[in-house]
Structure formats: structure tokens, C-alpha cells
Amino acid sequence: MDLGLNGKSVIVTGGGSNIGRAITLGFAAEGANVTMAELDVDQGGRVAEEASGLGGGQVRCLRTDVTELAEVEQLVAAAVEDHGQVDVLVNNVGWDQLMFFTQTTPEFWERVIRINYLGVLNCTRAVLDGMNAQGHGAIVSISSDASRQGEPREAVYGGVKAAINSFMKTIAKENGRSGVRCNVVCPGVTVPEEDEEVGENSMWVDKDNMFTPEQFEKIAKSLPLRKVGRPRDIANAVLFLASDAVAGHVTGQVLSVSGGYSMIG
């Protein structure tokens, strides 16, 4: 099926590692022009090089701290200069460390909020005027099933991701009249298949500190589909929601891609 993404101008934040890497490669394979925002430009550069040979589109990695609005505005300006406009924004950047709430500090809270939420606000604000003016656009934000269920050791992260769900629904309502669609994808546990799929800033850089092999096995057995997620699973959902051809009448939705973990109606 043709998703109609060939030649589209796409921004992917955190496009060099794990889920972001799979999203970048997915759009590149569809022939989209991808502008990646990354702090780890070495990892991002490797992914950009890999992606450039997939579908004929241009893939570029720019060092960008999404918590700084001025840097995000420069990123968007670069995408517009290269490709004329921004058709799709994927708010993918995220970070956490698994700890019980009583083990966390205000400094940790602030870091989680800035990376996971302020980054979404900055990037969304930076593209909306252009999308409204051109009369179309798709924004897909990566949240988490921790936002829907509540998950031990993810209290702050889950709360922030829940804020993203609500924020995106509001943005969908405010901007739908201009043809701008806004949706959310909620991954469950999503594990990179190879170590080289993650950069040095990734929360998965030492996955043994996230979960033990026994815990991964237990998680998989607890899910209806009996398997943990892989980055390509999330990327496929993002491509669907970004496509006007197949999801042109879908907006304001929060889609769990978690092997059946949440099953919220």
C-alpha cells in the first residue's frame, strides 16, 4: 500500500536511537525527506547515512536540544529551507530512569519534565504556524502505556506522558480546522534488537540496568501476544498515523502498541 509519504518533509526528534532510529528508517524507506534532531550526532549521522540509501529522499541529522526553543526553531527553519515546509513532526525524544518515586529528587523530576514534555511543547509550537498556513500537517507524539496504566518506578515519567496525551488531543481540536492532525502512540516495553541501535544518551544504552533477562521473559509471558515490542512495531504505527492517505480521518487518538498490555477502550 502506498502511504503517500514519498517526498514529504518529516522531522523526527531523537531519530538516532531505538524507536527514533526505526521511525527515521521507516520514513526514509517510504521516500520521505527526514530532518533528524539529535544530541548524539555521531549516532544520528550513522543512521542518516543508513537511511539515505533506502528510498531516495534526503536524510539529515542536526544537533538539537529540544528543551531549547531557539534550537528547535533553527531545526524547523532548516527543514523548511531544505524542503519548503514541514509535513510531519514526530515528537519522539524521551528519557527516564526506573526508580520508585521516593528514590527520586526534584532535579530528576525537572529533567524528566524538560526532556519528555517541554521538548514536545517546543517542537509542536515551532511547526504549528507553518502547518496551519499550508492547510495540512501531521503531528505524532510518542507517549507510553505507563501514561494509561500507571507503572511502578515510572511515576514522574508516566505522569508527564499522560500530559502529552491530553496536550495532543487539545492541539488536535484547536488546529483540525486547518487540516492538522495530531495523534499519540503509546509503546509498552520496546527493546532494541542490537546494541548498535542505541546511542550513548539512550536510556537503553545499558539495558541490563533496565530489566534483567528474566524480567524480560516475565514481561513477555504476561502480555497477550507473549512478546516484547521492537522498535519497528512502533515505527509502523507512526507511519500509519502520519499518512494522510490511510489515516487522513484520524486525529486526537491515543494508540497503544504494547502487545495488549493496556487494552483500554
Angle at 235 between CA 123 and CA 13, to 5 degrees: 25
Q: 120 and 75 in contact (C-beta within 8 Å)?
A: no
Q: 95 and 203 in contact (C-beta within 8 Å)?
A: yes
Beta-sheet pairing, 254-257 with 9-13: unpaired
202: three-class secondary structure by DSSP: coil
Q: What is the DSSP string of 86-155?
A: --EEEE---------GGG--HHHHHHHHIIIIIHHHHHHHHHHHHHHHHT-EEEEEE--THHHH--TT-H
Angle at 115 between CA 184 and CA 108, to 5 degrees: 125
Q: 257 and 186 in contact (C-beta within 8 Å)?
A: yes
Beta-sheet pairing, 33-38 with 59-63: parallel
The residues annotated as belonging to the active site are 157
